[in-house]
Amino acid sequence: PAANIGVVGLAVMGSNLARNLASREGNTVAVYNRSRSKTDELVAEHPEAEFVPAFSYEEFAASLQKPRTAIIMVKAGGPTDAVIDSLMDVFEPGDIIIDGGNSLFTDTIRREKAVRERGFNFVGMGVSGGEEGALLGPSLMPGGPDEAWVTLGPILRSIAAVAEGEPCVTHVGHDGAGHFVKMVHNGIEYADMQLIAEAYDLIRRGTGKSPAEIADVFAEWNRGELESYLIEITAEVLRQTDAATGQPLVDVVVDEAGAKGTGAWTVQTALDLGVPVSGIAEATFARSLSSHREQRDVSGGLPGPAEDAFTVADADAFIEQVRLALYASKIVAYSQGFDEIRAGAAQYGWTIDLGAISRIWRGGCIIRAQFLNRIADAYAAEPELPVLLTAPYFVEALGRAQDAWRDIVATAAAAGIPSPAFSSSLAYYDGLRARRLPAALIQGQRDFFGAHTYKRIDKPGTFHTLWSADRTEVEAEDTH
Ligand code: NDP
């Protein structure tokens, strides 16, 4: 057999990944797609690439060297299960089946178990970077057995993006670990995008600058500590003029944000794990609020500050405050995301190197940013760091930013400008800092209506107050 790696599913992601693989020294790539036309097109349009086209699963299996290694890039869900079953019919034990789609990590855990029981290796791999990443170098988050990594590691290292000389791929952990980390990546992406959008909105409404002028602000920010792909493309989008109307493009686009569901998965999973990813949650809810057009239409008359009543006296000073608020909120969003990965690893029994995750996100993926080097440094200094934002670099940055952050959240509230991600990030920060939280009162309420008991600060044990009798305190069994 000629091919050392195969790709099943040749839509945009699969064909670009196949081309990326074929462009690397030493790779010959078997390609298969359910409908023949995509395979024919790919092979015809890229004579430079060493493809071995297959038109049945049998041909596909026959064209692959052992252990056979195949990456599936088809629609997540049922189609992925169908392709896995078809591959198991024609592959042999020891072969490696990789799902590169955006699968939910719990599906990956289920599939890994089923595939392993039949003697195959299964890898669930998060792929970030969209079409361009797949073609030129994605960030790859594979999870699966160590045995598969021996064969797969060198191939994946050859196609991944490179950041600071390191390929953006690491063996994340077992079974669903890779897809879990990809899910949290997308959640952080939601938070980052929402924070940038809030910053833009505040600057636009506070200073009256045009989108093109604000593009210059973002381009400037992209030369400093906020340097990142998302800041860079924000400037590009804001600078774009609509050909049809001559208006800034951002003013003719309908203001209802779409979502494919990975942000929601991140939040749902965080709720199950009990991890407060409030920045990601607010970003996800902000998208859903934006798309509830009917509710927005009937709510426009609600009382509040007039839309055009807000102007700042010193635009440059205000913009700098917004920049600091954005940076501080971004630190919180990433800290929360890494907290979710830590909690997921503990829950599902994965060993995940958080520093390695921050390093493989430095290239190829949507949240790539200079900032990730600071996270890598933090975990290098303290691998078991319980709260990322308590690393010395971030403490210093938050110290620099917090006055501005508070001013911006207060200003936005007074002006009636929604800033859910800025303000929830600040509330999280202050919640972590607080010596005492009103959670003590909640424990009292819970004990009052449900005899849920409470602990005392001054002695061990579990207690209950006899609220409906003489209100004396009794020691209680901790059964609730
Ligand atoms: P799509 O998600 O649009 O899926 C289309 C592909 O799935 C086609 O090759 C199609 O074959 C195949 N397919 C659908 N149903 C079946 C089935 N029952 N049996 C066999 N094949 C089937 O393609 P994309 O390239 O956009 O994405 C591929 C995967 O990568 C998805 O899981 C996606 O979530 C993920 N992903 C996408 C990113 C992106 O930016 N687009 C980024 C990262 C991951 P046919 O031609 O015969 O219809």
- Nearest CA to 187 out of 362, 366, 322, 4 is that of 366
Residue pLDDT, tens place only, 143-197: 999 999 999 999 999 999 999 999 999 999 999 999 999 999 999 999 999 999 9
This complex has an ipTM of: 0.97
Query: In which residue are the tokens 């409470």 written?
Result: 454
Q: Just list the catalytic residues.
A: 182, 189
Q: Is 56 flagged in the annotation as binding?
A: no
pLDDT of residue 477: 77
Q: Looking at the predicted structure, is the pLDDT value of residue 409 above 80? A: yes
The protein residue whose alpha carbon is closest to atom 38 in ligand 1 is 130
Ligand 1 centroid to 152 CA: how many Å? 21
Ligand 1 centroid to 413 CA: how many Å? 43
pLDDT of residue 308: 84
pTM value? 0.96
For the residues 304-319, what does the mean pLDDT come to? 94
For the residues 461-475, what does the mean pLDDT come to? 97
* Position in ligand 1 atom list of the atom nearest CA 130: 40
pLDDT of residue 478: 58
Ligand 1 centroid to 18 CA: how many Å? 13
| Ligand 1-lining residues (CB < 6 angstroms) | 9-14, 33-35, 38, 73-76, 79, 82-83, 101-102, 127, 130-131
Residue pLDDT, tens place only, 209-255: 999 999 999 999 999 999 999 999 999 999 999 999 999 999 999 99
**Residue 221 half-sphere exposure toward CB, CA atoms < 13 A:** 30
- What token pair was written down for 431? 């919640």
Q: Tell me what the pLDDT averaged over the chain comes to.
A: 97
Cα–chain center distance at 435: 31
Query: In which residue are the tokens 């990590």 written?
Result: 105
Residue pLDDT, tens place only, 94-129: 999 999 999 999 999 999 999 999 999 999 999 999
